[in-house]
Amino acid sequence: MEILINNLQGDSEIDSEVSDLITKVSKRVLEVEKVDKEVSIALVDNQYIKELNDKYRSKNEATDVLSFPQEDENLLGDIIISIPRAKEQAQEYNHSLAREIGFLTVHGMLHLTGYDHHEPQKKEKMRAKEEEILAHFDLSRD
């Protein structure tokens, strides 16, 4: 299981702690869900994710994370995370950037493994799994 991280946003550098966290959290989801596939994660700016959100979801606005499952025996899919949005949300929810990026990574990974949150029961199941994985890294909500 390989996790490929590409920093495509030019505003700020991503330090090794953030990329290590993304890798560890992603691998934990794969272990828990018993999946042995590669995942590609792109760290982008708001404009980049807005264009993808408009193109694939017909929502002409920036979002925090997008997931694109792949029909490939070796590649589970792609996750796109907006770093500026993650920073905004960390401040808004009064928690660390690490916690927010951890959450967005878990959220995207769970979508790739088949979870969704469109129905209340499925949303509850997904949120419980997110918190279980985040707790493993001491990133639970306070």
Question: Judging by beta carbons within 10 Å of its beta carbon (0-12, 13-18, 19+), is residue 13 exposed, middle or buried?
Answer: exposed
What residues form the annotated binding site?
107, 111, 117
CA distances 50 to 27, 31, 60, 84, Å, are 27, 31, 6, 12
Annotated binding site for Zn(2+): 107, 111, 117
Enumerate helices (H) and strands (E) in the chain, giving the number of each.
5, 4
Supply the DSSP string of 10-58, one letter for each residue. Answer: -SSPPPHHHHHHHHHHHHHHHHHTT---EEEEEEE-HHHHHHHHHHHHS
